[in-house]
């Protein structure tokens, strides 16, 4: 995979170099170009720049692909080479971005790796009790799913607003004002999570899938069990994993089994069938890892998805 990426980079570098003239600086006559890798960042950028702002072009790379297996196309590489600002999370799934940045020469381009900006707030990936592991999996890595914390989202939005203000000083005041309004909405939703989950009869979730919700679980003091870690390459659960999760559902009297968006439901149903004393619902949580273009056309937003996740958790944690 690495060799393929290097070859693709080499093919595209000449094209990028030829197209970079004039990129990286802003003026009143130049449209600011921003590129990002995932839907949460895309929506944060829209909120901070203003959704009716026609002086900024925000490009989201192919968001219908699971980021754990994503590789940039030649067109993606040219877009990143030309842009004024490139924003990515900087975890395992977009490790390709750091390699690309090291190989493209655009001295005027600014880039932000949001995990770097968060510093010590980034948690190591966890292997919870009963979680199936891959012997070849690197367990000594940061958990990259930081966007699923409303609290860390506030820090990341502040960093993005600062970067936009540096690139476009004329509009800095507007960006900061938009950011403050959006931060207030993030704080309000965080408060709703606290109020709803503090009063929930149950405080344990069981996920028949990968587990990208470590930050959310930490924010609201939830215990969790899951089939796989957040960035696991495993797709088939063993008998031992299924048996463990089914017995946990029974022992804790869980009202629901959670799965991720896009799941076929087979693992959740198998665990449900294996449970002896409960008949849990199967509910879906949205990790926003592969929001499709259709979602954006339907005015999907980070806040709306997180609000839906709250409703799902309230149902799952009810008695």
The pLDDT mean for the chain works out to 86
The confidence score (pLDDT) of residue 29 equals: 53
The confidence score (pLDDT) of residue 64 equals: 62
Same CATH fold assignment for domains 2-122+141-189 and 200-316: yes
- Number of Cβ atoms within 10 Å of the Cβ of 190: 18
Find the mean pLDDT for residues 287-307: 77
What does the pLDDT look like over 199-239, one tens digit per residue? 999 999 999 999 999 999 999 999 999 999 888 877 789 99
Task: Specify the range with the lowest mean pLDDT, choosing from 27-36, 75-84, 159-168, 215-224.
Answer: 27-36
Residue 29: HSE in the Cβ half-sphere, 13 Å Cα cutoff: 1
Find the mean pLDDT for residues 310-315: 98
- The closest of 88, 108, 210 to 159, measured between CA atoms, is 88
> Torsion angle, CA of 215/217/219/222, rounded to 10 degrees?
-160
Distance in angstroms (rounded) separating the CA atoms of residues 288 and 36: 14
Q: 270-284 burial, b if ≥16 CB within 10 A, otherwise e? A: bbbebbeebebebbb
Q: Which CATH class is domain 200-316?
A: alpha beta
What is the pTM assigned to this prediction?
Answer: 0.88
Residue 18 has pLDDT above 50, yes or no: no
- Of all residues in the chain, the percent with pLDDT exceeding 90 is 66
Higher pLDDT, 26 or 45: 45
Do 44 and 302 contact (CB within 8 A), yes or no?
yes
The confidence score (pLDDT) of residue 54 equals: 76
Residue 123 has pLDDT above 60, yes or no: yes
The confidence score (pLDDT) of residue 110 equals: 94
Residue 90 has pLDDT above 90, yes or no: yes
Residue 26 has pLDDT above 50, yes or no: no
3-state secondary structure the chain: CHHHHHHHHHHHHHHHHHHCCCCCCCCCCCCEEEEECCHHHHHHHHHHHCCCCCCEEEEECCCCCCHHHCCCCHHHHHHHHHCCEEEECCCCCCHHHHHHHHHCCCCCCEEEEHHHHHHHHCCECCCCCCCECCCCCCCCCECCCHHHCHHHHHHHHHHHHHHHHHHCHHHHHHHHHHHHHHHHHHHHHHHHHHHHHHCCCCCEEEEEEEECCHHHHHHCCCEEEEEEECCCCCCCCCHHHHHHHHHHHHHHCCCEEEEECCCCCHHHHHHHHHCCCCCCEEEEECCCCCCCHHHHHCCCCHHHHHHHHHHHHHHHCCC
Higher pLDDT, 87 or 65: 87
How do the domains of the chain map onto residue ranges? 2-122+141-189, 200-316
Residue 4 has pLDDT above 50, yes or no: no
Task: Specify the range with the lowest mean pLDDT, choosing from 45-59, 174-188, 280-294.
Answer: 280-294
Distance in angstroms (rounded) separating the CA atoms of residues 212 and 62: 20
The confidence score (pLDDT) of residue 20 equals: 39
The confidence score (pLDDT) of residue 292 equals: 55
Higher pLDDT, 102 or 193: 193
What does the pLDDT look like over 138-182, one tens digit per residue? 667 999 999 999 999 999 999 999 999 999 999 999 999 999 999
Task: Specify the range with the lowest mean pLDDT, choosing from 36-45, 96-105, 112-121, 259-268.
Answer: 96-105
The confidence score (pLDDT) of residue 223 equals: 97
Find the mean pLDDT for residues 245-266: 96
Task: Specify the range with the lowest mean pLDDT, choosing from 54-63, 176-185, 257-266.
Answer: 54-63
Q: Which CATH class is domain 2-122+141-189?
A: alpha beta
Do 96 and 72 contact (CB within 8 A), yes or no?
yes
The confidence score (pLDDT) of residue 71 equals: 80
Find the mean pLDDT for residues 8-35: 52
Q: 28-37 burial, b if ≥16 CB within 10 A, otherwise e? A: eeeebbbbbb
The confidence score (pLDDT) of residue 233 equals: 75
Do 69 and 75 contact (CB within 8 A), yes or no?
no
Distances (CA, A) of 176 to 44, 104, 158, 162, 201: 13, 30, 8, 8, 40
> Torsion angle, CA of 41/308/273/279, rounded to 10 degrees?
150
Do 37 and 115 contact (CB within 8 A), yes or no?
no
The confidence score (pLDDT) of residue 134 equals: 74
């Amino acid at each position: 995979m690495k060799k393929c990426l290097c070859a693709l980079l080499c093919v595209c570098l000449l094209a990028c170099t030829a197209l970079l003239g004039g990129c990286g600086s802003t003026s009143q006559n130049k449209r600011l170009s921003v590129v990002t890798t995932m839907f949460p960042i895309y929506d944060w950028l829209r909120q901070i720049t203003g959704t009716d702002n026609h002086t900024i072009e925000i490009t989201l790379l192919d968001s219908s692909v699971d980021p754990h297996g994503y590789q940039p196309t030649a067109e993606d590489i040219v877009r990143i080479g030309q842009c004024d600002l490139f924003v990515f999370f900087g975890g395992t799934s977009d490790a390709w971005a750091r390699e690309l940045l090291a190989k493209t020469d655009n001295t005027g381009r600014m880039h932000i790796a949001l995990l770097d900006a968060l510093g010590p707030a980034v948690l190591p990936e966890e292997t919870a009790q009963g979680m199936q592991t891959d012997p070849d999996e690197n367990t000594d890595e940061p958990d990259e799913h930081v966007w699923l914390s409303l609290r860390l989202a506030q820090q990341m939005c502040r960093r993005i607003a600062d970067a936009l203000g540096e690139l476009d000083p004329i509009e800095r005041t507007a960006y900061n004002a938009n950011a403050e309004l959006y931060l207030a909405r993030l704080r309000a939703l965080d408060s709703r999570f606290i109020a709803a989950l503090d009063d929930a009869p149950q405080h344990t979730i069981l996920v028949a899938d990968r587990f990208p919700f470590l930050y959310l679980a930490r924010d609201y003091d939830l215990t969790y069990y899951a089939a796989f870690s957040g960035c696991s390459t495993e797709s088939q659960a063993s008998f031992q994993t299924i048996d463990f999760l089914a017995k946990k559902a029974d022992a804790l009297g869980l009202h629901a089994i959670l799965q991720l968006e896009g799941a076929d439901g087979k693992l959740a149903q198998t665990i449900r069938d294996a449970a002896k004393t409960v008949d849990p619902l199967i509910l879906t949580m949205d990790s926003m890892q592969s929001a499709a273009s259709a979602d954006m056309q339907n005015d999907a937003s980070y806040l709306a998805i997180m609000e839906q996740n709250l409703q799902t958790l309230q149902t799952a944690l009810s008695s």
